[in-house]
Amino acid sequence: MSKIFELNYQSLYEINTTPEAATATWSRIGAGITSADPSNNESKDQTNYLDGDGYAESEIIGAQFTLAFSGHRVHGDAAQDWIASIEHELGDNRKTQFRYTDMKGNKKTGNCTVVDVDFGGGDAASKKEISFGIDVNGKPTVTPATAATDLEATVAPGTVAGTTSFTATVTSGSGNSLAYKLKSATQGTVYGGSYAENYIAYTTGADIAATAGQYLCMYELSPYKHVVKYDEVLLTSADIKS
């Protein structure tokens, strides 16, 4: 089996930019960000006991999940603009909620404090450098990835010979989009929140050149290329325009 390396850009970091509102506004921390460094910041006790023959035992007695971000200032980006607006605030005005989704769709969420905000600096002929941190308050909630919600899609022959098509509706007001892949074998379980690659953007009802025996993999994707909904159909001759 080939190795699958997780790449940093496949991670999704989001912050609630309206913490005072009843409904969260999740904004991506991504534009202009060149580095994200998560750490569990473990507190470790090392103690030597008489029965250890001179060797110590370690216990993890505390931790805090934190993330350090750095990059360049992008005006108009919702996450950066909100963080810049609280640079000189204290106390509860620095607190909000945070969530992190990895390429497989596993999530970590929690209440957090925005720390070490520095939105200035750098050389004269360079982009303005910024940095800030997210300190999660208490133990983060870890949610393992689960199968994506089923995309309600209808597959039908296309309008041109040798094509198929599908119709589906994305979640209203979400900014989500449709996409597809054609594969020779099933993809198996596709997880909600996982990062999607090698797909083709799709407009509902458009023709797709295909042959019977291929698997039509249909997606609803978030604006950040993560899977929201998914469905898969093994195409038959009845699904192809003759």
User: Can you tell me whether residue 83 is helix, strand or coil?
Assistant: helix
Q: 8-143 in CATH: which number?
A: 2.40.30
Strand partners, 166: 155
The letter for the amino acid at 193 is: G
The owner of tokens 């003759």 is 242
% of the chain residues with pLDDT over 70: 100
List the chain domain ranges. Answer: 8-143, 149-239
Distance between CA atoms of residues 134 and 82, nearest Å: 13
Per residue in 115-170, pLDDT (tens digit) is 999 998 888 899 999 999 999 999 999 999 999 999 999 999 999 999 999 999 99
Half-sphere exposure of 132 (CA within 13 A, CB side): 28
Distance between CA atoms of residues 211 and 82, nearest Å: 49
Distance between CA atoms of residues 87 and 164, nearest Å: 53
Per residue in 205-231, pLDDT (tens digit) is 999 999 999 999 999 999 999 999 999
pTM of the model: 0.90
